[in-house]
């Protein structure tokens, strides 16, 4: 579990395919400080298991399913990536509950500079529409964000200077794919409501 508050902007050192899977090595210093073999680290919002941890890097194996569903399959050496360690019982929940399970890929449409802050526009696929609400939470590239405007095919988010500085947003180009994860609470509510319409046994 994560909070969507990015700790570090790392860089991909290498990507090696093996079979239908891949191993990614990422250069990082902050998230490796107290990470142990097998701990979870979110990479652009995807929960991965840290392996071969060194002071300046870690590796992660990525399955075919994750490569297909997320943007990790398109990473190349030198690419900037958002990094966050998993929460602990003492972690401040500064963002919202993020699982690191990507629901879909969206598209970065562009950003408008408002003199220090930015309005970012993200297109989303139709199947995500029912989970998005005005002023609700969404994770983009693993970043916990609030929807500031919502249309039938895209949403807008306000990005403060700190977020722009420490994440990969400033490196994105219009048309780039981004990882999207909706608020888990919305999915639980949907499931509960669907089951509430099913008659219980004995009635």
- pLDDT digits 0-9 by tens, 15-55: 999 899 999 999 999 999 999 999 999 999 999 999 999 99
Mean pLDDT of 60-78: 95
Please report the pLDDT score of residue 62 as a whole number. 97
Q: Sorting pLDDT into bands at 50, 70 and 90, what band is 190?
A: confident
Class of domain 8-85: mainly beta
Please report the pLDDT score of residue 201 as a whole number. 53
Sheet holding 46-49, edge to edge: 46-49, 40-43, 80-85, 8-18, 21-27, 57-62, 51-54
pLDDT digits (tens, 9 = 90+) for 2-17: 999 999 999 999 999 9
Look up the pTM and report it. Answer: 0.90
DSSP per-residue letters across 175-189: T-EEEEEE-HHHHHH
CB 95 within 8 A of CB 80: no
C-alpha 181/C-alpha 193 separation (Å) is 21
pLDDT digits (tens, 9 = 90+) for 146-188: 999 999 999 999 999 999 999 999 999 999 999 999 998 888 8
Please report the pLDDT score of residue 193 as a whole number. 87
**Does position 63 have pLDDT exceeding 90, yes or no?**
yes
> CATH 2.40.30.20: which residues of the chain?
8-85, 104-190
Please report the pLDDT score of residue 200 as a whole number. 56
pLDDT digits (tens, 9 = 90+) for 74-124: 999 999 999 999 987 777 777 788 999 999 999 999 999 998 899 999 999
Please report the pLDDT score of residue 43 as a whole number. 98
C-alpha 32/C-alpha 2 separation (Å) is 16
CB 187 within 8 A of CB 131: yes
Please report the pLDDT score of residue 187 as a whole number. 87
**Topology, domain 104-190:** Elongation Factor Tu (Ef-tu); domain 3 (2.40.30)
**Does position 56 have pLDDT exceeding 90, yes or no?**
yes
Q: Sorting pLDDT into bands at 50, 70 and 90, what band is 198?
A: low
């Amino acid at each position: 579990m994560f909070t969507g508050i990015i700790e570090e902007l790392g860089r991909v050192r290498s990507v090696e395919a093996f079979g239908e899977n891949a191993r990614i090595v990422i250069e990082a210093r902050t998230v490796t400080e107290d990470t142990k073999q097998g701990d979870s680290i979110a990479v652009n919002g995807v929960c991965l298991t840290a392996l071969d941890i060194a002071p300046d890097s870690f590796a992660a194996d990525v399955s075919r399913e994750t490569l297909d569903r997320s943007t990790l399959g398109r990473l190349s050496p030198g690419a900037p990536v958002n990094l966050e360690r998993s929460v602990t019982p003492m972690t401040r929940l500064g963002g919202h509950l993020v699982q690191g399970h990507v629901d879909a890929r969206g598209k970065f449409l562009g950003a408008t500079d408002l003199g220090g802050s930015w309005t970012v526009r993200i297109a989303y696929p139709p199947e995500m529409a029912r989970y998005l609400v005005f002023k609700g939470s969404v994770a983009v590239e693993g970043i916990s964000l609030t929807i500031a405007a919502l249309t039938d095919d895209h949403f807008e988010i306000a990005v403060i200077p700190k977020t722009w500085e420490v994440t990969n947003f400033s490196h994105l180009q219009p048309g780039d794919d981004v990882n999207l994860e909706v608020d888990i609470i919305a999915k639980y509510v949907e499931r509960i409501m669907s089951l509430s319409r099913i008659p219980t046994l004995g009635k």
